[in-house]
Amino acid sequence: MNLMESERQVAIFGLGFIGLPLALSFALKGCRVIGVDVDEQLVQDLNKGVTYHLEAKDGIPIQQILKEQLAAGRFRATTDPEQATKSSTDVIVTVGVPVTDGIPDYSYIRAAVQTIASYLRPGQLVLIRSTVTPGTTRRLLQPILESSGLQAERDFYLAYASERIAEGRAFEEFENMPTLVAGAGEKSLKRAREVLSIVTRAEIHEASSYEVVETAKVFENISRDVDIAMVNEFAVFTKAIGIDIFEVIRLANTHKRVNLLQPGPGVGGYCLPNALYYLLPRALEANLNLRLLPVARRINDETPRRIAGLILKNLPVPPSRAKVAVLGIAMKDYSNDDRLSPALKVIQFLESAGVTVAAYDPAVPHQYPFKVNSLEDALRGANGIAVLARQKNIDYEKLTEFRKLMKEDPFIVDTRNVYNRRQAKAAGFRLETL
């Protein structure tokens, strides 16, 4: 099927941090896109042109892109999967697989694929882009789709292509990140390549099986989790001997074969903290004892407690009489995503110790009892500052003005390498780094 982009209608199931920019990427290429989500409020907001994502393409914010594509009739959102599936040439699934207590929950993606199976037509492509346990496409999703009476590769096309983008760079990386894909057969692979190449300008690598691509995706995420655990462990060592971890990493990275990542308050978001738990079911099935990977995960899980300890250590008053201003509650710098954010865990530990927390993050839309509406509200009467995530709308350089709002002998615990000691001291702060 060689359709012009303007003739192609794409249904995308799941309109979160991956699905929405992917949907708009297809719309920008001229496709007609229907985004499907079970969240009625999200669908209403999107159809009004409202999104809180911090994505942009060529300097144009996603909010403007969304409004333009709605106006052009190339994108709309719906909660009606029947209409979306029946009218589409291609169906893409970006529904997430959350992890609870180390157990992946496949109920959401199972429900989405069951719905697609109910309305599947001969000649359609179903492209899975969710991160899953290796074997999920073959063992779970393909049988569900074939329960429709249609057979993959004979009647419809089925493929798996991993999603490899970083939040905040979605449009750029959908276009420029090499893509991995595997299909139920050669015809499915050809059709998936045809659809992927509408958006992707980078090389598309074909794999021998779904499992290869599923596993590569999980390995990619776990490798970063392990790398971050390593530098967080390094930070414990440098703290113990009284040297600065950020200076050490900067100098170590001058070696041409070394590329240490940056430590921080922990690891958050949907991808890295969950990756190990997508791998473990198959490891247990094969009776494998994975040793390094669970240790790395524990190190990153324990880091927020260590950061809370640094903050408590610097309090000039008992925790029950202390206030701490937290700057940034997103799961990483310059993000509005607070899912599994280590900053929230740090705050939880502080509040459990009796500290009053006033957190300011203008990018995160979710409301919390400890979240305040202005930087001034966070700083006023605070004993210290904890920098847990950078945001563009926070002017970190105004330390002298910060100092005027705060109590005597204030401190900064800086987990994001925003300040240096000379700068902090000149403004009247004690600085604690990782």
State the catalytic residues. Answer: 217, 271
- Nearest Cα to 365, choosing from 51, 45, 11? 51
**Is the dihedral angle over the CA atoms 47, 49, 55, 58 positive or is it negative?**
positive
Give the Cα separation of 245 and 311 in Å (integer).
17
Whole-number Cα distances in Å, 332 to 118, 131, 261, 391: 39, 20, 13, 9
As given in the structure block, the two tokens for residue 331 are: 């799961």
* Sequence-distant (≥ 6) Cβ neighbours of residue 267 within 8 angstroms: 225, 228, 229, 273, 300, 303, 342
User: What are the E-state strand segments in 298-410?
Assistant: 323-327, 356-360, 384-387
Give the Cα separation of 286 and 134 in Å (integer).
12
* Sequence-distant (≥ 6) Cβ neighbours of residue 262 within 8 angstroms: 231, 246, 249, 417
- Beta carbons of 148 and 202 less than 8 angstroms apart: no
